[in-house]
Amino acid sequence: MTSCFSRDEIESGSSRIKIFMLVDGVLDDKSFNSSANRALLRL
């Protein structure tokens, strides 16, 4: 992530950043599950 925010924006957007991190984690889990399912299908 590029840090091009002022200090006030970072403080007010800390909760927003946490939400983005949670969303990224969910997307990573989905992509991991789909790749795992593909590997199981190959077996």
Cα dihedral: 19, 24, 26, 29 (round 10): -160
pLDDT at 36: 74
pLDDT at 24: 72
Report pLDDT for 7: 60
pTM of the model: 0.31
pLDDT values of the chain reduced to their tens digit, one per residue, 43 residues: 455 655 666 566 677 777 677 667 766 777 777 777 777 777 6
Q: Angle CA(1)–CA(20)–CA(23) in degrees, nearest 5?
A: 125
The whole-number pLDDT of residue 6 equals 58
